[in-house]
Amino acid sequence: MLVDVVTSEAQLDRVLGVANALFSALTAKGHRVALGSLHPHMGRMEVNVREVPKKNQYHQPVWAPDRPTVLYIGAMPIGLTFYEMTEDVESVYANGTYFPVRDLTAEQRRRFTGPQHWKTTKELPSGRLCLQAYYPSSSRVKWFKRWQETPVSELLDVPKMVAALEASVPELTEQIETARIQEQGQRRLWEEQQRQWREERERERQQKAHQAAQQELIAAIAAWDQARKVEAYFEDVLRAAEHMEAGERDTLFDRVTQARAMVSGPSALEALLRWKSPSERL
């Protein structure tokens, strides 16, 4: 497991020296610096190593340790990342490699001319360092601070960084509390939306049960009314058959029996017993 340092090999010793000086100064003030846990709520803020970030410009993700480096001021965690910034440098192409124009010798400047040696801008390590401090325990709190070296001030001021980190605790505490209140409000809103959704689903379910029960009952009443008409028809036929000859009457009785069998269905009582009320459908 490694401390959160992103740098070129040329600046590695200097970055580690500055980091060690800061960690020692923090420890001397009673604070603790350690590697963060693997807890899912403990995360590392992404690093944009460009000294001058450009809007809407893609930057290649850089190396990141398995665990963030975390400063604890009391119970307050603050993530720390030391990194070397990059800058755009005019470079010339020669022999499959890009050389910074500023580093060319007089002989190279003379030789690296012509159409086969074109110039372009490359993103290269600047040799200047940056410390990024951030809140590592919640994506809702977007707090961070950066201390950057400049071409005229190449050393990070450790005492000032220690004082600034200590002074950040009240501000960070306020932001965390604000985020907690907002999260509670959003959760209450979500719970209210869920309650309304469940109530609407229940109303729809009851309405569907009522409609289904009503339709089935109306269909049963219609079937009962139709059955009465059919039965009345057969009774009229049987009464008329009383005046027919015995042979014809027997033939007619047989036809009525077959016809009744074809159109017979459950009685009105059976249909009502099978019918389900709205509450029985829920």
Bridge partners of residue 146, in order along the sequence? 132
pLDDT at 169: 95
pLDDT at 153: 72
Instruction: Kindly provide the b/e burial profile for residues 215-245, where b requires at least 16 CB atoms within 10 angstroms of the residue's own CB.
Output: ebeeebeeebeebeeeeeeeeeeeeebeeee
pLDDT at 56: 61
pLDDT at 154: 66
pLDDT at 100: 83
Tokens representing 21 are: 């000086």
- Distance, first Cα to last Cα, the chain: 59
156 touches 174 (CB < 8 A): no
How many CB atoms within 10 Å of residue 79? 21
pLDDT at 248: 84
Tell how far CA 69 is from the center of its chain: 26
pLDDT at 241: 82
Between CA 242 and CA 6 the distance in angstroms is 112
pLDDT at 275: 81
pLDDT at 226: 82
pLDDT at 77: 94
pTM of the predicted protein model: 0.66
Residue 170 carries which side chain, given as an amino acid letter? P
- Provide the residue-wise pLDDT of the chain in tens; the chain has 282 residues: 678 999 999 999 999 999 999 999 999 999 999 998 777 677 888 888 888 877 766 666 788 888 899 999 999 999 999 999 998 888 888 888 888 888 888 888 888 888 888 888 888 888 899 999 999 987 788 899 999 998 777 678 899 999 999 999 999 999 999 988 988 898 999 999 999 999 999 999 999 989 988 888 888 888 888 888 888 888 888 888 888 888 888 888 888 888 888 877 667 677 777 888 888 877
